[in-house]
Amino acid sequence: MRHLLLLLLGLLLLHQGRCFEFVIDGEWEDEVSHIQDRRQRHKRAILTSDEQEDFEAIRGDDITVRSYKVESRITSRFAHTIVRSSVVNSGSQAQSIGFNIQIPKQAFISNFSMNVNGITFVGSVKEKHVAKSLYAQARSRDKAAGIVRANSQDMETFKTEVHVPPGSNIEFELHYQEMMHRKLGFYEHLLYLQPGRLVPHFQVDVYIFEPKGISVVQTPNTLGGQFTELIRVTTSENKAHIVFKPNLQQQRTCENCTGSAIDGVFTTRYDVKRDSNAGELQVSDGHFVQFFAPSDLSPLPKNVVFVIDVSGSMWGVKMKQTVEAMQAILDDLTIDDNFNIIDFNHNVRCWNEELVPGSQVQIKDAKRYIDGIKPNGGTNINEALMRAIQMLVKASGQGMINPRSISMIILVSDGDPTVGETKLNIIQKNVKRVMREDFSLFSVGIGFDVDYDFLERIAMENRGMAQRIYANYDAAEQLRTFYSQISSPLLRRVIIQFPENSVSDVTHNRFDKYFGGSELVVAGKVLPSESNTLTSFTTASAESLDLTLETETDMAELDTELAKHQHSFTGFARQMWAYITLKQLIAERSLASTAAKKRKITQQIMKLAVEHQFVTPLTALLVESEDARERLLVDSPKDPRRGCCSGGGSSSRQLNIVYQPPPWVQISTTPTPSPFVHGTKEWAVLPQVNLVDNDPHFIVRLPGSNMNVCFNIDSKPGHTLNLVSDSGAGLVVNGKLISSKELLKNKLKTYFGTISVYYLPDGVSVIIGTDRIAMNHGRNNHSFTWGATAQIDQDRVKISIVKNSHVTVTVNKNIQVMVLLHQVWKKHPVNVDFLGVYLPSDNQYSALVHGLLGQFSRELDVSVHDIHEGADPLKKEATMEVKGHKLRVTRGWQKDYRRDKKRGSNVDCWFVHNSGKGFIDGHYTDYIVSDLNDSH
In this prediction, residues 175-199 reach a mean pLDDT of 94
The residues with which 512 forms a beta bridge, in sequence order, are none
Q: What is the pLDDT of residue 4?
A: 24
**Which burial class, exposed, middle or buried, applies to 585 when counting CB atoms under 10 A from its CB (0-12, 13-18, 19+)?**
buried
62 or 709: whose pLDDT is higher? 709
Residue 677 confidence class, pLDDT cut points 50, 70, 90:
very low
Task: Reply yes or no on whether the pLDDT at 51 is more than 90.
Answer: no
* Best CA proximity match to 449, nearest among 887, 46, 12, 891: 46
Cα separations in angstroms, 693 against 148, 820, 843, 891, 896: 69, 9, 19, 18, 8
Q: What per-residue confidence (pLDDT) applies to 57?
A: 79
Nearest to 621 by CA among 5, 6, 9, 1: 9
Of 360, 434, 439, 433, give the one whose Cα is nearest residue 405.
439
Q: What percentage of the chain has pLDDT greater than the value 70?
A: 85
| DSSP conformation class of 143 | -
pLDDT digits (tens, 9 = 90+) for 536-557: 999 999 988 999 999 999 999 9
| Alpha-carbon span 875 to 797, nearest angstrom | 43
What is the DSSP annotation of 599-618? HHHHHHHHHHHHHHT---TT
- Least Cα distance to 622 among 171, 133, 119 occurs for 133
Which amino acid makes up residue 438?
A: D
Residue-averaged pLDDT of the chain: 84
C-alpha–C-alpha distance, residues 415 and 42, integer Å: 9
Confidence of residue 914 (pLDDT cuts 50, 70, 90): very high
Instruction: List Cα–Cα distances, 878 to 540, 699, 853, in angstroms.
Output: 56, 18, 23
Q: Calculate mean pLDDT across residues 563-590.
A: 93
Label residue 649 by pLDDT band (50, 70, 90).
Answer: very low
Kindly tell me if the per-residue pLDDT of 323 is higher than 80: yes
Residue 121: pLDDT over 50: yes
The more confidently predicted of residues 460 and 449 is 460
pTM of the model: 0.85
- Yes or no: say if 234 and 305 are a contact pair by the CB < 8 Å rule: no
CA distance 46 to 866: 101
pLDDT beyond 60 at 27? no
pLDDT at 164: 82
Residues 6 or more apart in contact with residue 629 via CB below 8 angstroms: 138
Provide the 8-state DSSP code for 55: P
Q: What digits encode the pLDDT tens for the residues 351-387?
A: 999 999 999 999 999 999 999 999 999 999 999 999 9
CA 905 to chain centre: 43
pLDDT tier, 676 (very low <50, low <70, confident <90, very high otherwise): very low
- Span of 130-134, 274-278, 584-588 with lowest mean pLDDT: 130-134
Distance in angstroms (rounded) separating the CA atoms of residues 165 and 116: 10
Task: List, in order, residues 6 or more apart from 262 with CB less than 8 Å away.
Answer: 193, 194, 195, 202, 223, 227, 246, 251
Lowest mean pLDDT among 80-89, 390-399, 445-454, 537-546: 445-454
User: What was the pLDDT predicted at 126?
Assistant: 81
Q: Count of alpha carbons within 13 Å of 780, Cβ hemisphere only?
A: 18
